[in-house]
Amino acid sequence: MNPLLREIVFRLGAGVLTLLAASALIYLGVSALPGDAATAALGRDATPQLVEGLRKQFGLDRPVLERYGNWLAGFVRGDLGHSLPTGVPVAHVIGDKLWNTVVLAGVTMALLVPLATILGAVSALRPDGIVDQSTAAITLSLIATPQFVIGAILAVVFAVWLKWLPAVSLIDPSRPIFARPSILVLPVVTLLAAALAQSVRMIRATMIEVLDLPYIEAARLNGIAAWRLVLRHALPNVVAPAIQVLAYNVPWLLGGVVIVESVFEYRGVGLTLITAVQTRDLPTVEALAMLTTIVIVATSFFADITVILLNPRLRRRA
């Protein structure tokens, strides 16, 4: 077998094992939540007969390992189960919310990649210069500030004081999201703040290491202009580390989605997850947690493979 293909198969197998272990932890963790899910779904005034009937309908009276096996088999087939409080298929519950979150995260990543690369490269050109120190101060402040605080400050400034943007991002289900792009601005900027701060500092550190390499120093001594040195010689060597940095930010971004959607009342999977936890909607919580894990593992897998393909030494080693 081709060594590179063998490496891909190995990493794919590791990803599948990771998902299998994560599925067990997710299901057992959700099942161990305190309280009775059937009682929470029907309310405290429900009769014991109704509660017992709902438990049997959703298989909550069966052993946890049997329920886990049935849930995992259904998930692999694409059956996410049914919402416990409403009985509606989970796929219908999260369908449009999933698209809303994809739009929010996609716009954020589309802005994050060029901004992080440009700011990281500019800061690395003159380490400890005015631009570098200013960028470091801003990024460190953003990293140290919780996202819900950033979102609240942005809402007060741009929605309450200046009245430029809506304070809450209410989505009209009958209209496309991009029909009202203003509702995306504050959530995207809030998500972008913390993710951009981390990415800029990581890319800056990588760029400084690349600029200190001997061949870069030789090119500088030959009189090559600084902008050409960065664009043609340094940036290509930063692409692979930048991909890993961005992949590292995906879990951070997904975690921030839950907070940001809650702050701005944005109808996405983050807000749906919070509601599902509050109502003890176990199938919805399990499905959203598993889908999030799949996104994180898949992103890490494709980032690793892309880095190997971009680096000749890693390709030969593979």
pLDDT for 240-287, tens place per residue? 777 887 787 888 888 889 999 999 999 999 999 998 988 888 899 999
Q: Which helix (H) or strand (E) holds 20?
A: helix 3-31
Which pLDDT value is given to residue 1? 62
Q: Crossing angle of helices 3-31/282-310, nearest 10°?
A: 160
Position 15 pLDDT exceeds 90: yes
- So where are the chain's domains? 1-85+282-318, 97-278
- Classify residue 146 as left (phi > 0), alpha (psi -120 to 50) or beta: beta
C-alpha gyration radius of the chain: 24
Distance of alpha carbon 288 from alpha carbon 274, whole angstroms: 11
pLDDT tens profile 189-203:
999 987 888 888 888
- Rounded to the nearest 5 degrees, what angle is found at the Cα of 243, between the Cα atoms of 241 and 247? 115
Position 318 pLDDT exceeds 60: no
Residue 305, CA distances (Å) to 106, 239, 300 in order: 21, 13, 9
Distance between terminal CA atoms of the chain? 12
pLDDT tens profile 133-186:
998 899 889 888 899 999 999 999 999 999 999 999 988 888 888 888 999 999
Closest CA to 165 of 173, 154, 175, 174: 154
Q: How confident is the model at residue 317 (pLDDT cuts 50, 70, 90)?
A: low
Position 314 pLDDT exceeds 80: no
Residue 33's SS3 state is coil
- The predicted model scores a pTM of 0.87
Which pLDDT value is given to residue 22? 95
Position 40 pLDDT exceeds 90: no
Place of tokens 């161990």: 32
User: Which DSSP letter does residue 87 get?
Assistant: -
pLDDT tens profile 114-148:
888 888 888 888 888 898 899 889 988 988 889 99
- Classify each residue of 205-244 as buried b or exposed e, where b means 16 or more C-beta atoms within 10 Å of its C-beta: ebbbebbeeeebeebeeeeeeeeebbeebbeebbebbbbb
Which pLDDT value is given to residue 299? 92
CATH number of 97-278: 1.10.3720.10
Closest CA to 246 of 109, 81, 150, 141: 109
User: Which DSSP letter does residue 222 get?
Assistant: T
- SS (HEC) of 118-175: HHHHHHHHCCCCHHHHHHHHHHHHHHHCCHHHHHHHHHHHHHHHCCCCCCCCCCCCCC
pLDDT tens profile 45-75:
778 888 888 888 888 888 889 999 999 999 9
pLDDT tens profile 208-251:
888 888 887 887 778 777 777 777 777 777 777 778 877 878 88
Q: How confident is the model at residue 288 (pLDDT cuts 50, 70, 90)?
A: very high
